[in-house]
Chains A and B, each alone.
Chain A
């Protein structure tokens, strides 16, 4: 170990490979893979961008305790919600964050089932993103209640009131779905980490190795371990796939089971799931593009990765647009005056701008992805991703406040305007997310080393 210091850092200087159409630039051995990725955490110098970002994130994060603290103390009235608009930023952001989370699970589970090699480089990263996104999402259902200190009443536990949750309510389904999703995501992520933690254990110095060693559970890469390990991963993937579909379906039930025009829609489950993946990939790109640059990971996250992600984003985006079309069509086809009024309110009501912005962000902006050059241009992808993130947030705005602010009885119609506390909570949660994300990058291997190793062409193959 003594021989091990920074001078021995990354063995290969980062070289920009033009349009590498591979999932791994083939100039790596198992060794260099380990050194490069473990090095990011263990010995390579931390890029200054990391310090900048985490500092900003930490400051922004302070908005969260401030906003929520006041909310708990003074009342939910600090938010812009009212009658008729009982849900505003709280549920919008909840759905938005949950959606973002979905990309991670999709990449690690669904793509694993389809044996997509390109998932390996981004899975770890995306799963971490899932966990943090779900943590942010989880804040809202708790704090959106009028009496958060009683939110635990949504859990089924024996009590002196002999009362239980009311299982017909989609909110109770949410509790089951989101908690399961969070737990399974964390398990999946951790299981994936174990072999790499062993690697870190064997590379780290000083006290670090004990921490990694503790977390690695004494993993020793035994063939028998690998055997069960792979079985478990495969099963987890098989379980996570229906899980991830169910979670956003259930979230969409919050609205689909209601009878408000604009909520009461059977197309919601599929198009919420598609939307979730859509938003999720946008967020993965948003994070992956700068990180890959700052840490010189172009060998592992190649243009091929970017293009594939762009393709998924494009496909799901088109599904979402189909959903929007269907809403319009059904409003007309149903012949129901309330449905039609709902559509008209979107098209030319007081919030029409949001609706059209939604079309631009989620419908128009992604059309550029028809072109290969665009799918491979980090700049284009980064910008499109920003559009999509905003667009998906707008979608939830259009669905939630815009449907209830004008429903059946015109006399009860009203408007919804967010307050500083709405914004504080929202922006604060973004800070929280970024903060955790960058802590993760600094402390754990952000790319799965043992999986990348399986991509390394061995001399045997390399020859012919």
Chain B
């Protein structure tokens, strides 16, 4: 049926693709006839732009479509009538059937994907006929426990991205790997003669032991050669902090579940940074049941993060104030550092008291971008509190070489400037784009005689290199990586490289004249050498490890560390305060590596809900000071110009700008989205620009934001209470609405068989967006582009509503994932004139796309506004590679039909069929929705409400359980567990929030 084994690209007649084309719509047919009818080049261009990416090209809306309007109008009827019958469909069977591939049934393989800092995310990848289509977390993996973050979910789109570097380029002209290898061999000859002098290897952070070994091998063979690592959002500060504290760049591993009190210093540890996925789970485990040992989180941060919004107490603070707070905290807790003063003494006092009261059960976490001093202080405080070994332990750095990357890069550029570098091999990363502006990397690079680029995209760096070698996507690679706790996570390819991609270790092999070996074996042999001796039956062991996706028990052992006396001294003086511009990796595209990932570009940023743009984030007061409002363009330090976005709860005086935008050469999606903040960066101060001039240019720009209204209007939507209120009244969320009985004139429907229901624990939800992307990947949800988002037409089936509550300067921030409620009395169903949306015996609110004529009445009548409409042909029919990405079990919707969350009915159906075949009931946990599977903190529960033993039944029995707008009599199947915060009595509760009760009175 589908692709043959080892065939790099799915064959043109991919069953799913054809199915997709045959999907109910006349759309694809029509477009085909339009193409045929009008083969004009500008037409092709138009089609490409409008539909291959279906993104920002929409932007100037109607006008840019003018050209085809008349033509379109005339072709209209032809297009519509010409497709009443299906074209004949081909079946392409295997020639030789591979083992254990059953046509139509997906297989799952364990693998790993490197995140920022090269730290592994353990994943399971679903593969349909050798087409990887969906990424899930690996429950066996310590860094995942089954959860994933948004980037990992979106990696699958990265794999199929049609804009990836597709072939070897030599000075911009197509070439071949064979040619490349030849010149690499020549290079090897030269290097041998000169001991590799003048050869430099520039990579991102390497945590892969086998690749590390190969590099070491290289450096051994060519002693004069040098290896430099650089990542713009690397962990330099963490390492530096560890050096100050312990004299060595150890990596800290936290046991968040062991901590009763946590202080996050400018740290978003629940969502970003190594181990975040695991930490989110551990953190949530201490909040799922408020009654038993709920933890308390203090967050001190410049700009609101998901972590900050999950905190019980949050203090907006400029980076200087954060450090000041850290110093004061350390001093108060007797870490032997000089005292310091802070703005908000009460907050400090409370935190200190709380920490002191929980020695050994408390935790202070410094953020990835926090200056080294803060890291050092955090270590010192944890030591002082006796947390080391309890809530935090230290391990040898997970990096192969924990070098100071900034320094390394600086030196390299110096050498390049000085012409000391003849050959530079840049593997991964994108230095021309993301190195600090003051280094003028591009200029220096031009001084290098031979510039070789191994990259996933022919990007900004590739543009100035002689050779551009396509790099394989992680899902096309064999390899090994280390997880946040050192666990060795194994990578296995899910598909042969789509575009001739190779991995660094293969290129090195050529230089080392060790080519020709299967990477699979290279990795295996590496580990045989490492642990083979100590492992009986290594081959079986290895087989199992590959199957599990990790080497069991390979987590790095805890290291005993001791604080250095010099710590206090080396902290240096407290930093100067004052207005600052802080640079932060974007929560979605991070340092820019995901800039061409349409899913991440269109994914609303967790707090601002912006899409397709980065912005100059300001507190309301700061914005006022600069006379700026949302969208007004400001010029920063006379270097970059960007639109302002006002963020309640941001620290006054701190302006935050996200990195990763303004890419000029990455692909159709990422080019020209936002502005590049790297221009503000200096190698000395990568994260902070002090006293940068801010000038309001007077013009403004439209921002595509998915939520225009941030207030709950006093309605009982997110219901919450403090721990005390909760203990006083456990059913605070519903006791109001319990007062009045809702009745119906109609008899109730009975649900005898299965009865599906879903619940979201608002106490666990951090608003990290993983579920939204997981849903998008699972259900073939299209991307619509900035202009369409602007018109309020985004398609996400799960929207995460973000509400501000309380003072505008430091509001409480609530996240609420809203998907279809599958109401038993669904308002949408009664109004559909063609019965395209009806109710199933199992209580699902069914949306039958192929019956929908698109009156949109259902969406109008949906009180939750969870229905999404295909106003245009949003699904991409034309890009072949994207057909490979699609989930064959879900119809690809076409123009003019409604769609919405289906509770992943395709998964329910598979489970039901498997169960029925064995004539048994579906077991609890057998059906896991995509969002539930992805959620790092395990906030989503799903199951059969008629199975009294199921988890969902227990969850819905919780006193916190409530449903939205029940007073409308819709009887939703989706419900929420009300939020309970654990404020410190010493501090006035953050939001002057008495619990918002159910019912509307």
Contact = CB atoms under 8 A, between A and B. Distances in A.
Do A and B contact each other directly (Cβ–Cβ < 8 Å)?
Answer: yes
Interface of A: 65-66, 69-70, 72-78, 80-87, 144-147, 149-151, 153-154, 163-166, 168-172, 175, 254, 257-260, 335-338, 341, 404, 407-415, 419-421
Interface string B834-863: 110010000000000001111111011101
B26 A170 contact: no
Contact of A74 (B827, B872, B898): B872
A145 B965 contact: no
Nearest to B78: A73
Interface string B158-192: 00000000000000000000000000000000000
B526 interface: no
A68 to B, nearest CB: 9
A145 B858 CA distance: 12
Given A150-B853, A151-B853, A411-B801, A66 B1000 contact: no
Given A82-B792, A83-B859, A409 B853 contact: no
Given A84-B859, A411-B803, 5 more contacts: A75-B895, A146-B854, A337-B714, A408-B863, A411-B710
Interface stretch (B69-77, B87-95, B326-334, B565-573): B69-77
A132 to B, nearest CB: 24
Nearest to A173: B833
Contacts of A85: 792
A337 B1000 contact: yes
A165 B833 CA distance: 6
Given A70-B69, A163-B851, A75 B871 contact: yes
The CB with the most chain A CB atoms within 10 A, among B802, B838, B852, is that of: B852
Interface residues of B, number: 71
The CB with the most chain B CB atoms within 10 A, among A83, A163, A164, A172, is that of: A83
B895 A147 contact: yes
Given A72-B76, A75-B896, A259-B863, A153 B792 contact: no
The CB with the most chain B CB atoms within 10 A, among A149, A172, A407, is that of: A149
B852 A146 contact: yes
B612 interface: no
The CB with the most chain B CB atoms within 10 A, among A69, A337, A341, A411, is that of: A411
A86 B860 contact: yes
Interface in B27-76: 30, 61-62, 65, 69, 72-76
Nearest to A141: B855
Nearest to A166: B835
B239 interface: no
B708 interface: yes
Given A336-B1000, A408-B965, A73 B76 contact: yes
B304 to A, nearest CB: 17
B871 A82 contact: yes
Interface string B810-839: 000000101000000001001111110010
A76 B832 contact: no
B576 to A, nearest CB: 40
Interface string B778-814: 0000000000100111000001011100000000000
A149 B24 CA distance: 12
A76 B854 contact: yes
Interface in B863-921: 863-865, 867-873, 895-898
Nearest to B965: A408
B341 interface: no
B854 A73 contact: no
B964 interface: yes
Contacts of B818: 409, 411-412
Contact of B831 (A76, A146, A171, A408): A171
A195 B550 CA distance: 93
Contacts of B859: 83-84, 86
B793 A83 contact: yes
6 contacts: A77-B871, A86-B859, A87-B860, A146-B854, A404-B860, A408-B864
A74 B855 contact: no
Contact of B896 (A76, A154, A419): A76
Contact of A147 (B26, B65, B835): B26
B477 interface: no
B25 interface: yes
A411 B854 contact: no
Contacts of B792: 82-85, 414-415
Nearest to A72: B76
The CB with the most chain A CB atoms within 10 A, among B832, B834, B838, is that of: B834
A164 B834 CA distance: 7
Contact of B834 (A72, A153, A335, A421): A153
A168 B713 CA distance: 33
B531 interface: no
Contact of A169 (B74, B830, B864, B870): B830
A327 B792 CA distance: 29
Contacts of B867: 83
B26 A149 contact: yes
A168 B74 CA distance: 37
B717 interface: yes
B701 interface: no
Contacts of B869: 83, 86, 146
Given A77-B871, A171-B855, A149 B895 contact: no
A420 B964 CA distance: 38
Contact of A73 (B73, B791, B860): B73
B833 A149 contact: no
A145 B62 contact: no
The CB with the most chain A CB atoms within 10 A, among B26, B73, B851, B864, is that of: B73
Contacts of A337: 714-715, 1000-1001
B69 A154 contact: no
Given A75-B895, A168-B830, A420-B62, A410 B713 contact: yes
A146 B856 contact: yes
A411 B853 contact: no
Interface in B581-608: none
A411 B835 contact: no
A69 B69 CA distance: 9
The CB with the most chain B CB atoms within 10 A, among A81, A163, A165, A335, is that of: A81
The CB with the most chain B CB atoms within 10 A, among A75, A409, A414, A421, is that of: A409
Contacts of B80: 72, 149
B824 to A, nearest CB: 15
B517 interface: no
Contacts of B79: 73
A410 B873 contact: no
B671 interface: no
Contacts of A335: 1001
Contacts of A171: 831, 833, 855, 857
Contacts of A78: 62
Contacts of A163: 834-835, 851
B707 interface: yes
A413 B717 CA distance: 14
Nearest to A335: B1001
B827 A413 contact: no
A172 to B, nearest CB: 5
B851 to A, nearest CB: 7
A410 B896 contact: no
Q: List 4 tightest A-B contacts by C-beta distance, closest first.
A: A146-B854, A146-B896, A77-B871, A69-B73
The CB with the most chain B CB atoms within 10 A, among A78, A81, A146, A407, is that of: A146
Given A169-B833, A259-B827, A146 B870 contact: yes
A98 to B, nearest CB: 16
B855 A411 contact: no
A146 to B, nearest CB: 2
A164 B73 contact: no
B101 interface: no
Contacts of B717: 409-411
Contacts of B1000: 336-338
Given A166-B835, A409-B863, A69 B72 contact: yes
Contacts of A169: 830-833, 857
A147 B827 contact: no
